[in-house]
Amino acid sequence: MCGICGIAGTTESRVIEHMTASLWHRGPDDGDVAVFPAHNLALGHRRLSILDLSPRGRQPMQNEDGTVWVSFNGEIYNFRELRATLDPARHRFASESDTEVILHLYEELGAKAFAKLNGIFALALYDATRERLFLVRDHLGVKPLYYTEANGKLIFGSEIKAILASGHYTPELDWQSAHDFFSFLFVPAPQTIFRGVQQLPPAHWLEYDLRARRIVRLERYWDVALWGNHQPKANAQELREELRPLFADAVRQQMVSDVPLGAFLSGGIDSNLIVGLMAQHAAQPVKTFTVLFDEPGMDYYDERHEARRVADRFGTEHHELPIDLSQPEDMLDLVECFDQPFGNTTFFLTYLLSRYTKQSVTVALSGAGGDELFGGYPRYRAVQAMKYLRLVPRAAAKAGLAALSRVQDSFADRRWHRIRALLSGLDRDPARQYLKWVYYLDEERKTQLLRSREKQPAAAHRVLQSHLAHLPRTWDDGNRFSYLDVETFLPDNLLEYSDKTSMAWALELRVPFLDPRVVELAFRIPFHLKLNRAGSKQILRQTFADLIPAENLRVPKKGFNVPLGRWMRTKLDRYFDERLPRAYVEREGIFAYDYLQQLREEHRRGQRDNAYELFAVLIFDTWYRKYLTGALPFTAAAVPRATASA
């Protein structure tokens, strides 16, 4: 697991060295650069050694004759199987690494090789003979890759900070992306908050002509939409019999490591299954890591009892981290992990848990993806009833909202918020309806909050519409919106914070649920076998019933988050007065000061839970000051280190 970067258009050593240094935190074990004057290209690499720890695994890596080079971030889980298919008469291996398999597979198959890789990866491959550079990202977007064309150069990196460190791109705000951020609390790919900087979409490869200096192709190599949901009358027993060995094999493959390995363990089903299957394959007790919330009133968030049952069941070496929530303002400085404004506060817990976990292991398995694939989110209940909810008269919905407006919000959880969103989101357009159910500021409220510097930006629901339009009409609503989340919410939100906060501590997170084979099977399962009257994730619960403690089956889903509603009334509220006084807000011209105060007042009084909308303002302003105005310090080569009590 590493950091990669490169620039086509200059071979100036200080440029690529500066870019590579900005990614030190992703790969503290080693680093190197390779310069190719013939094509005015430079590649950089920072290494976190996981497989083949010897110098033979060093990157950028070349084939036998130096005609193909690769700078690679990630893990290829099927590299041994792929290596066995290669003609030994044609290829000479110098290492035991998965990286070298990529080189030789490309020699045989060209760009078709990328679809054969099962793993988490972002890579840059240089073909000197064809005068081409390829940028490639894994099937589900677990590993990030950003690029821009600026001043006649192609500049790319695992994080945007590498592009900024090149000195050949001038940061500029993309207003459309800013507008979208306040709806989603993340910037939807392929956009980024920086004008002209793109994120390579999952399951895509980009081909760049080094002679002509231009991108000649951007191609998708895998899409679950092509074969998903084709078994509406599928036999449930047969699907369970297929799911069990497949997921067990995904876990087994992802346990391959030459360094210590463990797992994140919450009280949920997903991490429970991963730990149970790891225990079946491990020669030693599995190391597990979870967080504790000891502050009064935090019972809603605490899953220690459920996690301990799993740990006891499988005899794990269990580690618990009591989270220190006394300084939530630390979250604001962590914008440097992302280089963009990012508003899902789960990143704070993942950051602290990653820091703690790294003290014991270098690789950890995570349950990311289980909710999206197997109907784990409460919103999927509404999706199942979507076609009926559209028939609710607007007058009845307005009356319900009016009645709820007199109910004070409980900031311990967001149930009232969800009910209000359900009623206010009723719409004949499925994308617009889902946006209001799941996300934050709609177009009307953004118009009141934001002072656009350009022409009126496009509505945020267009992002969701484009993905839904891609699906065959034969798909059921449950799998349609599950697919939508896999295309948007998963890579741009959940996997975004998982990668950035874990790699801030050089901890590799692996995600067995996102093995492409598991994803393909999940979308062949009718949604009613995942979520029904008996509850969520039913096919998982039935398939792996022997691995789940009985008491845990009866515990409602809690989620992994912080008490943001409470903080925004107390510890974080003062930041609006300190950082966003009227004079500053009106001078910068981004926010409408009076509407911002209205959001604060509604939240203080409990009229409306505006915690995430207000946090979005704070995190955006922090990013803006660090990256565009320089009013707050920014250190491109180092990620801020928050503290946690153990």
Q: Give the 3-state secondary structure percentages of the chain, helix then strand then coil, rounded to 5.
A: 45, 15, 40
Task: Give Cβ neighbours of residue 255 (< 8 Å, ≥ 6 apart).
Answer: 261, 278, 281, 282, 365
Location of structure tokens 């967080």: 291
DSSP string across 34-69: EEEGGGTEEEEEEE---S--SGGG-SSEE-TTSSEE
Distance of CA 152 to the CA centre of its chain: 31
Alpha-carbon distances of 291 from 172, 327, 369, 496, 581, rounded to whole Å: 38, 17, 20, 20, 36
Instruction: Look at residue 75 and give its three-state secondary structure.
Output: strand
Residue 340 DSSP one-character state: S
Task: Give Cβ neighbours of residue 455 (< 8 Å, ≥ 6 apart).
Answer: none
Task: Give Cβ neighbours of residue 603 (< 8 Å, ≥ 6 apart).
Answer: 565, 568, 569, 609, 610, 611, 614
337 part of the active site: no
Among 78, 83, 110, CA closest to 96: 83
Residue 447, amino acid: T
Torsion over CA: 79, 80, 86, 92 (sign): positive
Alpha-carbon distances of 242 from 225, 279, 615, rounded to whole Å: 20, 21, 43
Question: In this structure, are strands 214-220 and 146-150 parallel, antiparallel, or unpaired?
Answer: unpaired
Give the Cα-Cα-Cα angle 148, 149, 152 (nearest 5 degrees): 150
Q: Are 70 and 60 in contact (CB under 8 A)?
A: yes
Q: Are 534 and 269 in contact (CB under 8 A)?
A: no
- In the set 2, 525, 564, 639, the catalytic residue is 2
Angle, helices 269-281 vs 304-314, to 10°: value is: 20
Question: What 3 state SS string does 535-575 have?
Answer: ECCHHHHHHCHHHCCHHHHCCCCCCCCCCHHHHCCCCCCHH
The total of other beta-carbon atoms located within 10 Å of residue 290's CB is: 26
Among 205, 176, 207, CA closest to 193: 176
Location of structure tokens 């999940």: 522
Question: In this structure, are strands 132-137 and 146-150 parallel, antiparallel, or unpaired?
Answer: unpaired
Q: Residue 558: is it exposed, middle or buried by C-beta count within 10 angstroms (0-12/13-18/19+)?
A: middle
Alpha-carbon distances of 594 from 21, 67, 444, 590, 600, rounded to whole Å: 43, 61, 15, 12, 10
Alpha-carbon distances of 71 from 32, 157, 445, 465, 636, rounded to whole Å: 10, 10, 44, 35, 21
Residue 252, amino acid: R
For 85-196, strand residue ranges (E) read 119-127, 132-137, 146-150, 153-157
Identify the helix (H) or strand (E) that includes residue 74: strand 68-76
Distance of CA 350 to the CA centre of its chain: 12
**CB hemisphere CA count around 23 (13 angstroms):** 34
Q: Provide the annotated active-site residues.
A: 2
